[in-house]
Amino acid sequence: MSIYLVLMGAPGAGKGTQAKKLEDELGLPHISTGELFRYNLKNETELGKLAQTYINKGNLVPDNITVAMVRERLTQDDCKNGAILDGFPRNPAQADALEQLLSEFNGEISVVPYIHVDQDYLVERLLKRAEIEGRADDNEETIRARMLVFEEQTQPLLDYYEERGLLVRVDGDQSIDDVAQELFKVVRVKL
């Protein structure tokens, strides 16, 4: 059976960094839906063109298009043993769609690590990143607003996976290497 992980965490929690470490450790590809969208839009794939019609109108891209992009990515050879999903699913409806999709690939979600970081620490981290990267629009007010939106949108998904016994909280307030070691332990126990 293939191994699928859903990696969760607030903006700035270090998901991208930890996903790369997990990718190296497990030999599974890291699939970021943000990157999937950018690829499909840039390369003007059929799904990208379809998504663009919604984006141009200022609307969210419907779940079925996002699911189709994920499905297409999961059919590629590097995903034959599973994948690390980042940024998808974003809500319980997408989680149900993912469950159904993975059953087509003879797979299921093995574990959902949630990198939890104290909000004040996250804000501090994101302000530093904004300063380094010259992101003038990332001030404390906008960062805290994004955190609030993340929490409101993510809580139902955390509950969804907790009810299924798949959610495991990882302390993201540690060093990058310590978070990685905790993630590796969590994943090994569930695999």
- Are 105 and 85 spatial neighbours (Cβ–Cβ below 8 Å)? no
Q: Is residue 129 among the annotated active site residues?
A: yes
Indicate which residue of 71, 125, 144, 146 is catalytic.
146
Distance of CA 159 to CAs 98, 132, 174, Å?
16, 35, 24
Question: In angstroms, rounded to a whole number, what is the distance separating the alpha carbons of residues 106 and 2?
Answer: 7
Distance of CA 143 to CAs 32, 94, 112, 113, 146, Å?
21, 25, 25, 23, 5
Q: Is residue 90 among the annotated active site residues?
A: yes
Indicate which residue of 129, 144, 169, 190 is catalytic.
129
Indicate which residue of 125, 135, 144, 169 is catalytic.
135
What is the secondary structure of 7-29 as a DSSP string?
A: EEE-TTS-HHHHHHHHHHHH---
With a CB cutoff of 8 Å and minimum separation 6, the contacts of 188 are none
Distance of CA 144 to CAs 75, 148, 170, Å?
37, 6, 21
Q: Is residue 146 among the annotated active site residues?
A: yes
Phi, psi of 3 (to 5 degrees): -105, 125
Q: Is residue 164 among the annotated active site residues?
A: no
Question: In angstroms, rounded to a whole number, what is the distance separating the alpha carbons of residues 65 and 98?
Answer: 12
> Cis omega before residue 156 (within 30°)?
no
Q: Is residue 169 among the annotated active site residues?
A: no
- Residues carrying an active site annotation: 15, 90, 129, 135, 146
